[in-house]
Structure 1
Amino acid sequence: MPPAEPPPPADAARTPPGRPDEPARRGLGRSFTNVFTANISSSLADGIARVAAPLLAARLTDDPLLIAGIAAVAMLPWLFFAIPSGVLLDRIDRRHAMSIANGTRTLLAVTLLTLFATGTLTIWWLYAVIFAYGALETLYDGAIRAVVPAIVRRADLPRANSRIEAGELVVQNFLAVPVTSALFAVAVVIPLGIGALSYAVAGVLAFFLPAAAAGAHRTHRARRRRSDDAPTAASDAPSSDDAGTPVLPSVRATFAHQLTDGFRFIMSHPMLRPLWFLSILIALFFSAAIATDVLFVLDRLDVPEQWFGVFMLSGAVGGIVGAVVVSPLKVRFGAGPVMAAANFVGPVALVVMGFFPTIPVAVVCFAVSFGSTSVWNVLVMSLRQAAIPGYLLGRVHGTWRTLLWGTMPLGSLLGGLLARIDLTTPLLVAGGLTVVVAAAGYRFLHGLPNPEDVAEHALPTR
């Protein structure tokens, strides 16, 4: 049984405003431009925070364990808050969620700037701010992913998600990293101030999104409130989605009950369940393969430390190229075949790099691997957005991310243990295991539909 929740009217969950038979437009519309711009601004602030946090930590302490703890503290909120944030997103206006998340992060950035400027910043205060940043990121990230399918058509989801993916990569890798590093050396308050302003801009832009971005759950409740008549027997009967699949009637559910809605939906869905398990295994082994890439690059490839950031831009370039080509590839070959190929090519590149640890080979393999990951991310997100009813997007996204991202620290630990044997061992062993998983899931992935053809698979079978 799927989770009990007030369903939206027919088609409201997945069809953005406009006539169903209206031909696809060339552009993605002003609403998407608004979302894209807000996400660019928020991504710039995120990138500044990720660079500034360890630099600030290095000024506050010489303890390598405390400095390394910054990365762990940044990811920890996903284990605790991803699912509750998803439940919240399926209850409130998602535009307000974006504004609240970035408005609060603006205040946190100002607080961090003030603590530093007054000389009262300690490593523990820094930990607290970074943890709060991460908790609010679970809310914002879920909101931005849930808003996109409400304002673009299913056929345009890969194109929309590829632009978001490419924008984040460009801003965080090619703008935030060098700008923050350069300005940090001049005056710490400058990048911190830019980060606070960027969060504020993103929060304000959310107010200008159309009503559809609020979420199908809000649209349904608003219509019920405007109705002058009490619910009739007909209104309590199951409605249908655009594929004729019945949707359960409205049933009030407690917050605690809704915490498991995402898990129950995924587990009962014939497409999402195997895709989730496959994604978790891939994430586990992939994170193990790249866990010690910094040591591999510096010690095995003998890249000078000052050139490490430039060298790793090869991965960022590959990711951007992947985000650019994913939509044309999907149109030419179909989402399933492209996902199957990307999921196989990426880990193969890691294994090749392990067998031939030279700088030219590593540059190409990093680009191919991260490019394949970008293609995979865009298409997986697009399929999820098309398959999940709008009123469940927050909960399912939170559940998906909790276990998926929760395995990554375990993968990093596995990679660290393998690296004690040799710095190429994580690439060969963990990369090889990723290839095995990719080969095992190749047939399933190859048969996946395009996002616009997912309507008939949208809800689990009863």
Structure 2
Amino acid sequence: MLRVLFPRALFGADFARLWTAAAVANLGDGITMAAGPLLVASITTDPAAVAGAVFAQQLPWLLFALLSGAWADRLDRRRLVVTVNLVRAAALAALVAAVAGDAVTVPLIYAVFFVLGTGETLADTAASAFVPALVPADQLPTANAWLGATFTVLNQFAAKPLGAWLFVVAAAAPFGVNALSFAASAALVAGIGSLPATRPRPRTSLRADIAEGLRWLWQHRLLRALAVTMAFGNVVFCAAFAIFVLYAFERLGLGQLGYGVLLTAFAVGGLAGTVAAPPLLRTVSATVLLRTGLVVEAALHATLALTRTPWVAAAMIVVFSVHAAVWGTVVTTLRQRSVPGPIYGRVSSVYSLLELGGAALGSLLGGLLARAYGITATFWTAAAAMAVILLLAWRPLATATPVFRRPAGGDG
């Protein structure tokens, strides 16, 4: 029982520190994800302005993802994560002071969220190489499921209603909690002793480093297909969900706390998905899981466009979140098994550029689309687009199962 309940018993003390650092950061980050839109909505009801806060945090993935990947492969990854988390804590402390002093503005919120997003491009890219460095290849699916479950329980389940409640109690409180969480995460990552230092490489230009990562990903048929699929999928998903707080208020008739509770539907499904992912991967082909997930995404947007009933929306979100957790476990494990360690940061950054860059563009387009045609137009557009994406991705996803079942190393 102990081995089931505690990551230290499963994977060792250093993975337990990494898991705890992720848990603390996920709790704080989820609180800000819930409170951020509420803060903007307390200043303006303009859909484009609300979506702009999401876009400000995602824009750095478009601007800096490739550079961040190159630096993550050049610098000591542990020190990089620690430094970035401390900078993010300082940025949030500045926002806390502004909110508490009744001096907060939309441009200031955008600026702080831009700093958070910039730090995310560096920290997430560097930290993505930690798990395969700490965990044997045959335990990667379980380790990824552990981290996924932690993200779900804390970032989506506990943090969302907590963030909404903290905002109601004191508008500055959720951002202060997030600042403390980044500081604590930095201290925990600093204590991980068995992470290998980044090996010195022949001095090359950043341009050459970035080109190597681009070339490797583009030559890997499956990872290329997954990255392109998620790029377009995230454009339409984030176009719809960038204004989700307004959808909850105006379409479903919920208030601030109701919105926070609705967000826990993502956590319920996500937790179920992370628990189910390892046994599913032992019994169902990766190809079937990925294809089914795209069907679920199209159904999610169509359902939200049609319904005005909160429990119907919540039920569909639960189903979607099961898919998202399973998809994330499959794709993360595929990437960890396939990408060589020395270029992992650069390849991951290219993947993130496509995936999260698509999310940034979607957040920007979603606010404009909702302003011009109404909130439900974003969901109808997303449903139609996901149907097209499903048809185009159907055949490339056939290669997922054999690659997933190969030993670490995969094909290059």
TM-score range, shorter chain: 0.7 to 0.9
Counterpart amino acid of residue 182 in structure 1: W
CA distance 1:179–1:289, change in 2 (3 Å): closer
CA distance in 1 between partners of 2:193 and 2:151 (Å): 23
Query: Counterpart of 2:127?
Result: 144
Query: Counterpart of 1:346?
Result: 297
Match of 1:46 among 29, 33, 38: 29
Q: Does 1:154 align with 2:137?
A: yes
| Residue pairs, 1:72-151, within 5 angstroms | 72-116=55-99, 122-151=105-134
The answer to whether the Cα contact below 8 Å between 2:21 and 2:189 also exists between their aligned partners in 1 is yes
1:259 aligned counterpart, secondary structure: helix
What's the offset of the Cα at 1:147?
0.9
Q: Does 1:368 align with 2:296?
A: no
2:74 aligned counterpart, secondary structure: coil
Query: Counterpart of 2:11?
Result: 28
| Residue pairs, 1:2-401, within 5 angstroms | 27-57=10-40, 61-62=43-44, 64=46, 68-116=51-99, 122-188=105-171, 190-211=173-194, 213-214=195-196, 217-218=198-199, 221=200, 251-288=202-239, 290=241, 293-294=244-245, 297-302=248-253, 307-352=258-303, 354=305, 358-401=309-352
Name the count of aligned residue pairs. 402
Farther-moved stretch of structure 1 (420-429 vs 269-278): 420-429
The answer to whether the Cα contact below 8 Å between 2:37 and 2:245 also exists between their aligned partners in 1 is no
1:407 aligned counterpart, secondary structure: helix
Counterpart amino acid of residue 299 in structure 2: V
CA distance 1:274–1:119, change in 2 (3 Å): closer
What's the offset of the Cα at 1:328?
1.2
What's the offset of the Cα at 1:108?
2.5
CA distance in 2 between partners of 1:38 and 1:445 (Å): 33
The answer to whether the Cα contact below 8 Å between 2:62 and 2:360 also exists between their aligned partners in 1 is no
Answer with 1 or 2: which has the greater Rg.
1
The answer to whether the Cα contact below 8 Å between 2:240 and 2:382 also exists between their aligned partners in 1 is yes
CA distance in 2 between partners of 1:200 and 1:121 (Å): 23
CA-to-aligned-CA distance 1:121-156 (integer Å, 9 cap, x gap): 555444332221211111111122111111112222
1:271 aligned counterpart, secondary structure: helix
Listed as ranges, the gaps of 5+ residues in structure 1 are 1-24, 222-249
What's the offset of the Cα at 1:430?
2.8
CA distance 1:81–1:355, change in 2 (3 Å): same
CA distance 1:184–1:302, change in 2 (3 Å): closer
What's the offset of the Cα at 1:278?
2.3
CA distance in 2 between partners of 1:424 and 1:51 (Å): 21
CA distance in 2 between partners of 1:151 and 1:39 (Å): 14
Query: Counterpart of 2:410?
Result: 457
What's the offset of the Cα at 1:85?
1.2
Query: Counterpart of 2:396?
Result: 444
Counterpart amino acid of residue 88 in structure 1: W
Instruction: Say which structure is richer in helix.
Output: 2
Normalised by the size of structure 1, how large is the TM-score? 0.76
Counterpart amino acid of residue 217 in structure 2: I
Normalised by the size of structure 2, how large is the TM-score? 0.84
Alignment RMSD (CA, Å): 3.2
Listed as ranges, the gaps of 5+ residues in structure 2 are 1-7
CA distance 1:71–1:414, change in 2 (3 Å): closer
Aligned residues: percent identity? Answer: 32
1:90 aligned counterpart, secondary structure: helix
Q: Does 1:417 align with 2:369?
A: yes
CA distance 1:49–1:302, change in 2 (3 Å): closer
